[in-house]
Structure 1
Amino acid sequence: MTAIALPRKRVLADYVPAVAGVPATAGVLARDLALVAAGAGFIGLLAQWSVPLPGTPVPLTLGTFAVLLTGASLGGIRALLSLATYLVAGGLGVNWFAGHGEGFGGATFGYVVGYLLAATLVGALAQRGGDRTVARTAMTMVVGNILIYAAGVPWLMEATGMDFGTALAKGVVPFLIGDGLKVLAAAGLFPAVWALVKRIEKR
C-alpha cells in the first residue's frame, strides 16, 4: 500500500534569507540554528510577562502565546528544536521560565513539556497550510492549546495531589478567556502576514 504524502508549504521562517558568504548548505543551516535560538529566546522573553493568580500555582503568562507563534512561524522540526532548547536550558538553570523560573520539575513543568508538543504540532500543521486562513489558524492554535493542557494538567495533579476536577479548575478554567483572546489574535495575525507576503512576491 502506497502512502500519500501531503504537500509541504513554506512557513514564514523559510522566507528568512540564508547566511551569505558561505556554501549554500552551511548558510541554510546557520540560518536555521539562528532561528531556533531566536525562537527559544522569544519564548523566554514573553514568559517573563507572568501574573500570579490566587489559589493556583499556575501563573497567567504570555509564554503560551509565544510558543504558538514560534511553532507556526518556524515549522515542525525547527519548532521542536527551539522548544527543546528552551526546555533543556531552563531545566539546567537558565531562569527564563515564567516568572524567572528554572529547573526541572515543579507543579507547572508539565506545561513546559506541553509547550514542546504544541509548538511541534502547530509547526507541522503550518507546513500544511494551517496558518493561511482565519479559520485554519484558529483551529491550529486551539489544538496547540489543548496539547499544552493535556501535558500540564496531569503533571499538576501528580505534583500537587489535586484530583482531576480541582486540576481543571485551577490549571485550565482561569486561562480559557485569555487563551481564547490569544487564538483570535493569532487568527488575525498570520493570514494578514501571509497576505502581505503574497503581495511582495507578486512585485
Structure 2
Amino acid sequence: MSSDALTAPRVYLADTWQASIARDAILVLGGTAFITLSAFVTIPLPFTPVPVALATLAVLATGASLGALRGALSAGLYLLFGALGAPIFSDGQSGVTFPTFGYVIGYVIAAIVVGQLARHQADRKMSTTLALGTLGSIILYVCGVPWLAISLGVSLGQAVILGVVPFLIGDAFKILALSALLPSAWRIVGKVKPERDGSGR
C-alpha cells in the first residue's frame, strides 16, 4: 500500500482501508452479517408484535460507516435473504407477510439516507450524529407503521401506539450510543491513519 493510499482523504469510516472491489464486497457482506446477528438480539413485548431489536442501531451504524451504496446493499441483501426464506429476521422470522416487515424495508431506505448524511460528515460530531440517528429512526417508523397497520388490520393511530410509542425511549438511547460511537471512531481513525486535507472521492 502506498503512502498516498494511507493518507488519502476518506469519506466514510470504511474508507480507512485501501479501495478495491474486494474490499467493498467484504464490507457489504460484513454489514449484512452485522445486521443479521444484531437482529437476533431482541426483547419481545407482550402487548405488541414489534420487539425491541438491536438491528435498528446496526442498520444506522452500517449506513453511516459504509456509505449510502454499500450500506443499502448490506441492508438489501439482509432483506433479500430473509424474504427468500432464511430465518434471519427478528424472532427467526422470514418471508414478507409478517407484521414488522415494513421496518425491514425501512432498513434499506434509512441506510441510504444516513449514508448520504455521513458523506457530508454528519457522523463526525455528536450534535450532527444525533440528527443523523434521529432522521434514520423516523424513516424506520414511517416505513414500519403503515405495514404494521395493514398487516394487523388496525388504524394508523393504533399502529403508532403499537409500533412507535413503546420504542421511543429505547431508540433515544440507541441514538445517543450512535452519537458517541461514530465521532469517537473518527477520532481514533484520525490518530491511527491521518488523512491529508480535502474531502470527497
2:98 is paired with a residue whose SS is coil
Match of 1:23 in 2: none
Native 8 Å contact 2:102 2:143 kept in 1: yes
Give the equivalent residue in structure 2 for 1:33. 25
Q: Which residue of 1 aligns with 2:190?
A: 198
Query: Alpha-carbon deviation of 1:140?
Result: 0.3
Q: Is 1:120 the equivalent of 2:112?
A: yes
1:169-199 Cα offsets, whole Å, 9 max, x none, are 1100011111000000011111111111222
Change (3 A) 1:92 1:140: same
Partner of 2:193, secondary structure, is helix
Residue 83 of structure 1 corresponds to which residue in structure 2? 75
AA aligned to 2:30 is A
Tell me which moved more, 74-83 or 190-199: 190-199
Shift of residue 100, structure 1, vs aligned partner: 1.4
User: What is the RMSD computed on CA atoms of the aligned residues?
Assistant: 1.5
When normalised by structure 2's length, the TM-score is 0.89
Deviation at 1:16, TM superposition (A): 2.4
SS of structure 1 residue aligned to 2:120:
coil
Aligned residue in 2 for 1:3: none
Structure 1 residue 55: deviation in Å? Answer: 1.4
Secondary structure, aligned partner of 1:182: helix
Deviations 1:58-87 (A, max 9, x none): 111101011111111100000111111000
Distance 1:199 1:160, change over 3 A: same
> 2:45 matched to which residue of 1?
53
Report what 1:102 is aligned to.
94
CA displacement 1:121-169 (0-9 Å, x = unmatched): 1011101101010000010010000000000000001111111221111
Point out which structure has higher relative CO (alpha carbons under 8 A, 6+ apart): 2
Structure 2 gaps, min length 5: 1-8, 196-201
Q: Which runs of 5+ in 1 are unaligned?
A: 1-7, 19-27
Which amino acid counterpart does residue 151 of structure 2 have in structure 1?
A
Structure 2 residue 127 is matched with structure 1 residue 135: yes
Give TM-score scaled by structure 1 length.
Answer: 0.88
Letter in 2 for 1:44: T
Deviation at 1:95, TM superposition (A): 1.2
Instruction: Give the secondary structure class of the aligned counterpart of 1:54.
Output: coil
Is contact 1:90-1:102 (8 Å) kept? yes
Change (3 A) 1:9 1:154: farther
